[in-house]
A = this chain, B = another copy of it.
Amino acid sequence: MRIDKNHIQDTNQKYIAEHNRHFDFLSSLLSGKGYQIDSIIKKLGDFQVAIPSWALGAGGTRFGRFSFQGEPSNLEQKIDDVGVLHALTRTAGAISLHIPWDVPNDYNAIKEVANSHGVTFDAVNSNTFQDQESARESYKFGSLSNASKVIREQAIAHNIDVIKIGDKLGSKSLTVWLADGTNFPGQANFQTALTNTQNSLKDIYGELPDDWKLFIEYKPYEPNFYSTVIQDWGTSFMLANECGDKAYTLVDLGHHLPNTNIEQIVSTLMLKGKLGGFHFNDSKYGDDDLTVGSIKPYALFLIFNELVYGMENNPQNPYPAWMIDASHNTKDPLEDLMQSLEAIQEAYAKALLVDQNLLREAQVNHDVVKCQELLQDAYRTDVRPLLEKARLNRGGALHPINAYRSLNIRKNLIKDRGADSVASGL
């Protein structure tokens, strides 16, 4: 499955006139206010978000799963799906693998597939929250934090394997999401679990190639419902500091207690040079893993406002790894991801429109009304023409979802793969 660029151009014909009218109006308006349109469009185009392999099939809940037709049933097909997304949006130029769901058989072949789509391999993800069929030890009571040394060692070895697999593919970072925790008070000794985790992470860190990064994810609850070993950014930050310079905190939008001010966490981490990666999704209640921007787009904008600020003012922080971590079973996964990509681009574009100089001035003067006006002025701007232009410039679709539909891509995927194919993994 591969989309012909010309076909994408064909779908654009229908929208190009309106796009031009809207873009001309907006760029004239913004230029009049002093914005550098070309620079903004370039930044939008350069912003690439990794797609995790598990988002390409229908997700589900503990109450069941409603699958989608034409799901990719192997790694090559998953990369093909990302290729489709990238061809249409030009902002999905990477895939993030999940091991052991995505172990390649033939590394060169897989790299060629990815290369042919212009897709690179972003952070690799280990999995110690489920037991694998071949596993000798069970992670039922934890992995890197487990009271049992032999289980910890199995989990450490798995992470090192993941690094090796990633290394062969050109990945440069390992993401550790640790589900370890407890369902009941007293089930584990908090201090022992934390110390074990620290030591296990150090062992993994010790095997990290020089040019790699280790991302330590945090999450307050689920799948454990009393405690989680790495429950918040403070714990992750502490662990990352104890590991070393190549260890960073990874923020997943859905991994917070109700009402957490996430943008402030982002800001603090960038100030300290420790924001390594970012997982996008949206949620209303918990780790709902809904389409990015579908519930709280203004919060996403505020987060991007801090990200933009940090990328411009915090040289101590590396360029973060971006990934979408959303997956549900009510939408075609590819359409879902295109909506997420659009929401990310939109929030980024609006954040780029915040006049940081005027904002700083208003902040210093405690002109709170003006501060709010400045953010809202950027947010209220309809930036879609900028996103369209960024895509257009790179050969993408003006309206990716419309193009996807008019090109009958899902229909073709079903024809190729069958209606009943099921994505490996979750």
Contact = CB atoms under 8 A, between A and B. Distances in A.
Interface centre among A237, A259, A346, A384 (most CB of B within 10 A): A259
A393 interface: no
A273 to B, nearest CB: 12
Contact of A234 (B195, B233, B371): B233
A187 B298 contact: no
A186 B140 contact: no
Nearest to A373: B401
Question: Chain A, interface size: which category?
Answer: 35 or more
Given A29-B22, A131-B64, A360-B189, A288 B225 contact: yes
Contact of A331 (B179, B329, B369): B369
Interface stretch (A35-43, A100-108, A278-286, A411-419): A278-286
B195 A368 contact: no
Nearest to A249: B234
A136 interface: no
A183 B368 contact: yes
Contacts of A194: 267-268, 271
A62 B258 CA distance: 20
Interface stretch (A2-10, A45-53, A166-174, A375-383): A375-383
22 contacts: A60-B62, A66-B138, A140-B329, A140-B330, A183-B290, A184-B330, A184-B371, A185-B295, A185-B302, A186-B372, A187-B330, A187-B371, A190-B268, A195-B271, A225-B285, A225-B288, A225-B328, A227-B264, A232-B232, A331-B369, A339-B369, A382-B382
